[in-house]
Amino acid sequence: MSLVSAAAPDVSDPHDYALDWALVDVETSGLTPRQHRVLSVAVVTLAPDGRQTGEFSTLLDPGCDPGPVHVHGLTAERLRGQPTFGQVAGRIAELLQGRVLVAHNAQFDYDFLAHEFARAGVHLPVARRLCTLALNRRVDPPTPDLRLGTLAAHYGVKQTRAHDALDDTRVLAGILRATLKEAARLDLSLPLVPCPPRQDPRFAPKAPKAPCAYRNPGRPAAGGPLVQGMKIAITGDTETARVDLVARSVAAGLNVMGSVSRHTSLLVTNDTASGSTKARRAITEGVPVVDERAFLRLLDDVRPGTPHEKPAAAEPAATTGTGTATTGTAAEPATGTVTATIPNQAAAARPAPAAAPAPPTPPATPPRRAETSAGVRPLSGRRVLVLGGTHPVSSRARGRIVELGGSAAVNLSASVTDVVLLPGAETDRRMARITSLLIPTHDAHWLTAPGTAPDATRDASPADSPAGDERARSPRVLPRGGVIDLPRTGTEFRWDVGASWAQQTRCEIDVVAFVVDEDEQVSCDEDFVFYGAPENPNGSVRLLSDGPTEQTIGVDLAAMPPAARRVVVCAAIDGAPAFGEVGAVQVTVASGTGAMPLAQVTVDAATTERTMVLAEIYRRGPLWRFRAVGQGYDHGLAALARTYGVDVAD
């Protein structure tokens, strides 16, 4: 069904980036693509010269509860009798064929389409996508947030009906046109993301694994009983149907794993000489092995385990919307200290792990004073880009910017107020654009006078920055080790931890997350969130690939499994360089998609490290907190994953 309107906004002539575009918006029954369904879809196609060449929109009958009707207004009665996705998949595929898919928070729309196409058995013809949210993060317009409605108002695009798929797509067309022109003015490259084929196994619909309610007590004593929470693996043929064996184990309170690691309590197999991967790993790790009949006898007498500690209930009072920074207590690292959360590997009743390469000692950093509300520091409200210099020199310059109250930028954007030029800056390709934009430039001496404004001709007030008239506030700038409470309001349960860096030509950077328990271990391998497995079992932690220079970990605190105590966000290099060659990584935490960051930190001063713990969101009593970490390690991602209990094949 097509809902054509003559009132579509002008989307002509986006000549700066001449590509064929397919702008997409979906309304859904929930937020997890493998569990929820698409309720409505709209596609608007644009030619390279900006002419609209096609438009399609329809409601869909999902065959399930439509979810949050108060958000999208699509009731079960309204959807009943509409076509199914499979009936319109061919038409949608025609519009997507040969075009770049464009959406606001594009991975959300792409993932839902990928799962719907997989269910319908139809090929999804999308090779690349562009996220207008990621593109606007690069442009950094002077807006209080980057939500669709806010950007529409900023760019002068009329929005008629929010959360209407067709209207949102038409609005998106206007936003795309305006953003492309601004990106061209700044000489920015587009954050195009390659899309895997629909046959990628991560798009196969599957039921989520229910988290085990008990802590892992380790391995059973010789001849002793099983205890709830023990990690069990099964390999080879069994007399009892595998699904029934797993169901009985789960019902008894055991944690059935898909692989064997040093944390496995027991392996069940009827053929110890099978040579399977699980059997070989069990021998290597010293995991006890029993046959199926012995295991069934053990299932009849599983002893009570220790439930995961339930967090204290949050008090009804809420902190302010800006969050609360802390300098720590005896049990909480002080702001300004460097604190990595690599887990304690000396857990009782578990074999000692193989020694991992020793992490390098991070370069010494001068103590930095905590954020205070009293007084304005010289660079408050300024966003400063450093060009040129060796990595140690530029790192010290960025650290000095933070000390003076400013924000250290890692890329050129519309919010950059100043540029510091170090030796070699003249060869940077961005210099021509900086000169044409008349952005003030300074030499290194601009940062050397502590306690005085580097530029006396400009007021340091944030209100005088170019974005001061529209931005509600600037993010709090944290040092490495800085901690901030996440507000405890009734709606701020979704937090995005984003990481961005300068464009790389010799390597790729992957952002990953580990959802860990009280023992700093994952409850199952699926709690390792990375490109190949972009969400944990219940969808509360997700990886969003926003572009080649930024990725985001989305965390839904309200849906976190009971065992989860911490979400550790890390980055790893795929390629030859180390983080010392990559340069600064900017990390932000924001309350949901498109929101202004609550806080940010520039992770810098790396040398030979190939993996980096960037930050973490962790539970402390009734609170959730964000900590900027910035701890690097010379070993690769596989070694880092093993320290958190993930079974990684050699």
Task: Report the CATH number that the domain containing residue 412 is assigned in CATH.
Answer: 3.40.50.10190
Check whether 348 has a pLDDT greater than 80.
no
Check whether 491 has a pLDDT greater than 90.
no
Q: In what order do the strands lie in the sheet with 266-268?
A: 255-257, 231-234, 266-268, 289-290
Name residue, tokens 């990886």: 543
- Average confidence (pLDDT) over 212-217: 87
DSSP letters spanning 139-180: H--SSS---HHHHHHHHT----STT-HHHHHHHHHHHHHHHH
Please tell me the predicted confidence (pLDDT) of residue 325.
Answer: 52
Tell me how far apart the terminal alpha carbons of the chain are, to the nearest angstrom.
52
The Cα angle at residue 176 between residues 173 and 178, in degrees rounded to 5: 110
Question: Are 618 and 561 members of one domain?
Answer: yes
Phi and psi angles of residue 634, each rounded to the nearest 5 degrees, phi first:
-75, -25
Please tell me the predicted confidence (pLDDT) of residue 82.
Answer: 96
On whether residue 37 sits in a domain, the answer given is: yes
Over residues 112-145, the pLDDT tens digits come to 999 999 999 999 999 999 999 999 999 999 999 9
Question: Are 279 and 387 members of one domain?
Answer: no
Name residue, tokens 């996508």: 129
pTM (two decimals): 0.72
Please tell me the predicted confidence (pLDDT) of residue 504.
Answer: 81
On whether residue 376 sits in a domain, the answer given is: no
Using CA atoms, how far apart are residues 513 and 229, in angstroms rounded to an integer?
A: 23
The radius of gyration of the chain's CA atoms, rounded to the nearest angstrom, is: 26
Please tell me the predicted confidence (pLDDT) of residue 370.
Answer: 37
Please tell me the predicted confidence (pLDDT) of residue 77.
Answer: 94
- Average confidence (pLDDT) over 184-210: 67
Helix (H, G, I), strand (E, B) or coil at 642: helix
Check whether 91 has a pLDDT greater than 80.
yes
SS3 content of the chain, % helix, strand, coil (to 5): 25, 25, 55
Q: Are strands 541-547 and 418-421 parallel, antiparallel or unpaired?
A: unpaired
Over residues 274-290, the pLDDT tens digits come to 788 888 888 988 999 99
Are 603 and 402 in contact, with CB atoms under 8 Å apart? Answer: no
Please tell me the predicted confidence (pLDDT) of residue 378.
Answer: 86
For residue 554, CA distances in Å to 211, 339, 451, 551, 590 come to 19, 22, 38, 10, 10
- CATH number of 503's domain: 2.60.60.30
- Average confidence (pLDDT) over 99-109: 94
Helix (H), strand (E), coil (C) string for 56-72: EEEECCCCCCCCCHHHH
Total structural domains within the chain: 4
Q: Residue 350 — very low, low, confident or very high, per pLDDT cuts 50/70/90?
A: very low
Which of 483, 484, 486, 485 has the alpha carbon at shortest distance from 334?
483
Over residues 603-625, the pLDDT tens digits come to 886 788 999 999 999 998 888 99
Using CA atoms, how far apart are residues 55 and 92, in angstroms rounded to an integer?
A: 10
Please tell me the predicted confidence (pLDDT) of residue 57.
Answer: 95
Which of 152-166, 240-254, 449-463, 507-521 has the least mean pLDDT? 449-463
What is the residue type of 400? R
Over residues 39-57, the pLDDT tens digits come to 999 999 999 887 889 999 9
Average pLDDT across the chain, whole number: 81
Question: Are 506 and 554 members of one domain?
Answer: yes
Are 468 and 462 in contact, with CB atoms under 8 Å apart? Answer: yes
Helix (H), strand (E), coil (C) string for 17-52: CCCCEEEEEEEECCCCCCCCCEEEEEEEEECCCCCE
Residue 531 lies in domain: 475-643
- Average confidence (pLDDT) over 363-371: 38
Question: Are 389 and 274 members of one domain?
Answer: no
DSSP state, 74? -
Residues 399, 402, 404, 409, CA torsion sign: positive
Please tell me the predicted confidence (pLDDT) of residue 372.
Answer: 39
Check whether 61 has a pLDDT greater than 90.
yes
Q: Residue 203 — very low, low, confident or very high, per pLDDT cuts 50/70/90?
A: very low
Alpha helices for 221-336 (secondary structure H):
242-251, 277-285, 292-299
On whether residue 339 sits in a domain, the answer given is: no
Question: Are 417 and 498 members of one domain?
Answer: no
Question: Are 149 and 270 members of one domain?
Answer: no
Which of 185-194, 458-467, 544-553 has the least mean pLDDT? 458-467
